[in-house]
Structure 1
Amino acid sequence: MRRDTFLKSLAALAAAGSWPLTSHASGAPMKMMIPANPGGGWDTTGRAIGKALQDAGLASSVQYENKGGAAGALGLAQFVNASKGDPNALMVMGAVMLGGIITGKPPVSLSQATPIARLISEYNVYVVHGASPIKSMKDVIEQLKKDPGSVKWGGGSRGSTEHIAAAMIAREVGVDAAKINYVPFRGGGEATAAILGGNVTVGGSGFSEFQPYLESGKMRALAVTSPQRIKGLDAPTLKELGISVEIGNWRGVYAPPGITPEQRKALTDKVVQATKSKSWAESLEKNGWTPALLAGPQFDEFVDREFAALRAIMVKSGMI
């Protein structure tokens, strides 16, 4: 191409605002803290929003770090201390972290980090491994009433939505919630392995985490915590079974402490824009997630309300 033709082409691109996507144009490299072990809902969510940021041209690359334990408190502590002031860092969080903070009282508070956005919501499904003699939630309840400790409930960290739901179920059927035998795991991968290995009586988590095993017959669904049945899943709601329990899970992202209001707005805009991408739409469809975008002051207020609501449920259920 002649030099004058090349310069004219550049001028045309600049005027049209359509510069080629270079690593600079596609945004800075980003870091994603996933405060759980690989294979669970936080891991899937973090990698999905990271991919959406890249595919939308908002990040040149995304570096992921998994740090499981204590309902996300270990990852939260590392994120707050190591990423302070970094406007290109995000951490996945959600209802599980709030519950863990209430029950565990970690030294680092979520209020030290910067709220960005809620992304999705998802209800839990309770399952058993395919060869289990337990055929229904009714079987679980009968065993629970006879001997509460004999029913091992497997799921996320203490204070997770599946832990809270198990306590609520016990209370609703007349069993002391303080007597339930809850076995916490640091990530969905560990919980899945325990269920498939028959090391817990019944396990709970988001439908997307169990879906492949349910479809293959390696797991069997007993009930869901949603107000209506979940599409693609042949399992009744707890309310259909006469157990008045409904509780949802949600996930979002936070930024580190120490970023400016301008940096917070820029990061929020990036995340919101990423949720409009084809990549994110495909993740929603693939995982059966319900979009639940909430950003700005509305997200701040939502988290405050969730803390209060979860604490009230835990007190009522005898967890704290």
Structure 2
Amino acid sequence: MPLSRRSFLAGTVAAPALAAAAGALGGCAGTVVQPGDLSRLRLMAPASPGGGWDTTARVFQRVVQTSGLARNVQVFNVEGAGGTIGLGQLARETDDALLMMMGLVMVGAVDTNDSATRLSDVTPIARLIGETELIVAPAEAPYTDIRGFVEAWAADPAGTPIAGGSAGGTDQILAGLLAEAAGIDPGQVNYIAYSGGGESLAALLGNQVAAGISGPTDYGEQVRTGDLIGLAVSTAERSDQVPDVPTLVESGFDVEVSNWRGLMARPGMSREAREDLTQLVVDVHDTPEWAEAVETNGWDDLLLTGDEYGDFLADEEARVRAILEQIGLVQ
């Protein structure tokens, strides 16, 4: 049962103004949005349709509505610059009934795009879910595990091209962290950025690169069929999607990376408005519909709220910036 939200839209329209507006409109029902009304909830996906942020936002939208927590939720896309265009727009918003989906990619994009708006300029609400990263090699590769790959990589970093997604994104962050853990200069990593998982998959299947990094959604099927070799996954636990692939930690490398996603809200909101949004996310998380969606999509449940989420973000910003500096993507 949804909890009462004291003032979800508190401060957007004062009570006298509401009364005046109702009178001016002849008292027409439904023409004035009352505080606590979730019918205006909006959810920004700061990327193009079909990607991870967009998918997670639309799953959230569906669960909010089907579970009865809100009557209507609008998802809209603001594309560009690793999500920092949307981040800048959020920083200028005055609407408390707005959430923005984001994640680890945005943490790196803030620095690689020299964004004028930083994550500390908006309000953290909750971390939701995470996905593992899957490191693979072509079927013809001379190594069959991550230690064999790292040995070959250390011998010739420049001659060991690694395929992945956009520059400065989660895939390249993982490559840099693994290089650091293996004693390889992250600045020497030969990382080849592709615009999508399909392009990097083609490079792997064509034996054009030595390894690839992406999510199990992109590479998992080929690992299961034997067309690619699964070398390692990046999270603390193995992935149900590729259960035979070991983690980096159990392979002897002290590296953990989750491609997590979370929610942010506008700056300057009241404590009550932030609590209302946070409670909404907790209510969604606690529904059977959300649990089913997490399992269906192969996500890890990583709910974290309040100051703990803010502290987590600060730690991630420091970790990501340090590795991007070593890679040479930021000064």
Listed as ranges, the gaps of 5+ residues in structure 2 are 1-29
User: In the alignment, which of 239, 245, 253 is matched to residue 255 of structure 2?
Assistant: 245
After the TM superposition, which residues 35-54 of structure 1 pair with which residues of structure 2 at under 5 Å, given as runs?
Answer: 35-54=46-65
Residue 303 of structure 1 aligns to a residue in which SS? helix
Is 1:57 aligned to 2:68, yes or no?
A: yes
Once the two structures are overlaid, the 10-residue window that deviates more, 105-114 or 242-251, is 242-251
Gap change, CA 1:169 and 1:305, over 3 Å in 2: closer
Tell me, in whole angstroms, the C-alpha distance in 1 between the residues paired with 2:274 and 2:166.
29
Is 1:236 aligned to 2:235, yes or no?
A: no
Asked whether the 8 Å contact 1:129–1:196 carries over to 2, the reply is no
Residue 203 of structure 1 aligns to a residue in which SS? strand
Is 1:196 aligned to 2:196, yes or no?
A: no
Cα deviation code 1:149-177 (max 9, x no counterpart): 33333334443333222112223334321
Asked whether the 8 Å contact 1:73–1:100 carries over to 2, the reply is yes
Tell me, in whole angstroms, the C-alpha distance in 2 between the residues paired with 1:166 and 1:74.
26
Residue 239 of structure 1 aligns to a residue in which SS? coil
> 2:8 — aligned with what?
none
Tell me, in whole angstroms, the C-alpha distance in 2 between the residues paired with 1:67 and 1:128.
34
Question: TM-score under structure 1 normalisation?
Answer: 0.77
Tell me, in whole angstroms, the C-alpha distance in 2 between the residues paired with 1:152 and 1:60.
49
In structure 2, give the amino acid aligned to 1:225. Answer: S
Q: Percent identity?
A: 37
User: In the alignment, which of 289, 294, 303 is matched to residue 279 of structure 1?
Assistant: 289
Tell me, in whole angstroms, the C-alpha distance in 2 between the residues paired with 1:103 and 1:191.
21
User: In the alignment, which of 25, 33, 37 is matched to residue 44 of structure 2?
Assistant: 33
Gap change, CA 1:155 and 1:72, over 3 Å in 2: farther
Asked whether the 8 Å contact 2:46–2:100 carries over to 1, the reply is yes
Cα deviation code 1:182-238 (max 9, x no counterpart): 23456xxx1343223546543323335544554455654221122343335211222
Cα displacement (A) at 1:55: 1.6
In structure 1, give the amino acid aligned to 2:164. Answer: G
Tell me, in whole angstroms, the C-alpha distance in 1 between the residues paired with 2:258 and 2:192.
20
In structure 2, give the amino acid aligned to 1:282. Answer: E
> 2:109 — aligned with what?
100
> 2:131 — aligned with what?
122
Asked whether the 8 Å contact 1:52–1:275 carries over to 2, the reply is no
Q: How many residues align?
A: 293
Gap change, CA 1:104 and 1:316, over 3 Å in 2: same
Is 1:301 aligned to 2:311, yes or no?
A: yes
In structure 2, give the amino acid aligned to 1:35. Answer: P
Asked whether the 8 Å contact 2:176–2:323 carries over to 1, the reply is no
In structure 1, give the amino acid aligned to 2:58. Answer: R
Tell me, in whole angstroms, the C-alpha distance in 2 between the residues paired with 1:309 and 1:79.
24
Asked whether the 8 Å contact 1:71–1:156 carries over to 2, the reply is no
Listed as ranges, the gaps of 5+ residues in structure 1 are 1-21
Cα deviation code 1:30-87 (max 9, x no counterpart): 3222223344432332222222111222233333333444332123223334xx0122
Gap change, CA 1:55 and 1:317, over 3 Å in 2: same
Tell me, in whole angstroms, the C-alpha distance in 2 between the residues paired with 1:202 and 1:61.
44
Root mean square deviation of aligned Cα: 3.2
Question: TM-score under structure 2 normalisation?
Answer: 0.74
